[in-house]
Structure 1
Amino acid sequence: MMDASFWPELFNGAWTTLWVSGSSIALGVLMGLGVAMLRGARIPLLGRALTLYVSVVRATPLVTLVLFLFVAAPSLGWDVDRRVIAVAAMTINTTAFNAEIWRSSFATFPREQIEAAKAAGMTKGLMLRRIMLPQMLITSLPNLVNEMSLLVKSSPAIAMVGLVDLTRVSYRIGAVTYQPLPPILAAGAMYLLIIGALVRLQRVADRHAGRLAM
């Protein structure tokens, strides 16, 4: 049984995991949308550069990206807080995956609705805000939430730059108490609660997407 005095450390570690993951998720969803839109803007050089970015980042493990930024920042003379490095690495990672989700939504959006909006005199910006994005968000949400879950599961990579996340705290408590199992089980339960909340959100999104498709 784990001593109650260690629970505050676990909660602090869980907060670090939630804060870094949540910030990266919010930035990644928005930036992924931006990348998807720019890739469809018919600017050849920019489109090829963004396609290369998406391909390279999706093939790169998150822990490698975290370590690369951690080493590269001082080499360039940048004094960057390790929390910023962690959020930046996770954001770069999830942006690439979110960009593919949004790109698929753009590609499968009903052309007849676009033609009808054009016929009604809507500008591209107005059509995007009022017609495309609301529907695309609903249909893409299951995949976006799945990507959020994967990012949280990968978040222990931030411990490589010294951040005390939930996984690192559980290891530290186990090393101090010489009983590694209780803190690891406690950390696992907290991860289960976080992922469970996202899975619940995904199921709700699936239902809404199904109704929209009917």
Structure 2
Amino acid sequence: MTYLDVLSIFSGALTTLLLSAAGIMLGLPIGLGMALVRWLRVPVVASLVATLVSLLRAAPLITLLLLLFYGLPNLGIEVGPVFAGVLAITLNTSAFNCEIWRAALVTFPKDQLEAAQSVGMSRGLWLRRIVFPQIVRTSLPALVNEMSQLIKVTPVLAVVGIVDITRAAVRIGADTYDPLPPLLVAAAIYIPMVFALVSMQRWVERRQIRLETNP
């Protein structure tokens, strides 16, 4: 492998990182919003969201990506590979995030909500001060797992021409007829990315423990 080959893989790593970050940053709040709609049982909208989430969870990411990339232009909406990729991974991860958030909301102690309402707290206030801090903590391991999965499924974006870590490594392997070294470099890049997410989760959990121990 040459210096340019390694540089190409790191360029693919940057693409993977940016697309994954975009999907995570968009998917988390969208998933939370959908979970709240279902948990609060908003008339009509809750049923529509439940149906949408079921469809998105059932559709493979690659199928969703191709549907957006080739289908939207038929509706007069021109999309590029990057936009289609970000939209596909955002829709995909937001559906799974919705179920993670909703599981935490469903199991949230009702007596705490009743106590908040009894002292006259508004819905927005008890959501912000009582519900959110607790469901973030309980949902964090599952959310980090979903983020890790999102990083590892970005190679499917190669079907629309996006060059991520794996795509760059495969190209180099095909050119040099020696696929092992570039794939090892790709794996060596993936591991720290996922490890950073796990480390963040542990840091947040330790911080929560310290806050509870020393309020």
Q: Mean alpha-carbon deviation: is it higher for 142-151 or for 204-213?
A: 204-213
Counterparts of 1:62-141 in structure 2 under 5 Å? Answer: 62-141=61-140
Counterparts of 1:126-165 in structure 2 under 5 Å? Answer: 126-165=125-164
| Structure 1 length-normalised TM | 0.92
Deviation at 1:207, TM superposition (A): 5.4
Q: Who is 2:8 aligned against?
A: 9
Q: Who is 2:41 aligned against?
A: 42
| CA distances 1:129-180 after superposition (whole Å, capped 9, x unpaired) | 1111111111111111011011111111111110111111011111222211
Call closer, same or farther: CA 1:156–1:192 in 2, change over 3 Å.
same
Deviation at 1:93, TM superposition (A): 0.2
Q: Who is 1:183 aligned against?
A: 182
Q: Mean alpha-carbon deviation: is it higher for 199-208 or for 116-125?
A: 199-208
Separation (CA, whole Å) in 1 of partners of 2:82 and 2:70: 14
Q: Mean alpha-carbon deviation: is it higher for 70-79 or for 37-46?
A: 37-46
Deviation at 1:19, TM superposition (A): 0.4
Q: In structure 1, list runs of 5 or more residues that go unmatched.
A: none
Matched, 1:33 2:25: no
Separation (CA, whole Å) in 2 of partners of 1:59 and 1:140: 22
Separation (CA, whole Å) in 2 of partners of 1:165 and 1:87: 13
What is the identity, as a one-letter code, of the residue corresponding to 1:193?
A: P
Percentage identity across paired residues of the two chains? 49
Would the aligned equivalents of 1:139 and 1:209 in 2 still touch at CA under 8 Å? no
Q: Who is 1:197 aligned against?
A: 196
Q: Mean alpha-carbon deviation: is it higher for 84-93 or for 177-186?
A: 177-186
Separation (CA, whole Å) in 1 of partners of 2:160 and 2:47: 32
Separation (CA, whole Å) in 1 of partners of 2:159 and 2:135: 36
Q: In structure 2, list runs of 5 or more residues that go unmatched.
A: none
Separation (CA, whole Å) in 2 of partners of 1:90 and 1:46: 23
What is the identity, as a one-letter code, of the residue corresponding to 1:8?
A: L
What is the identity, as a one-letter code, of the residue corresponding to 2:44?
A: L
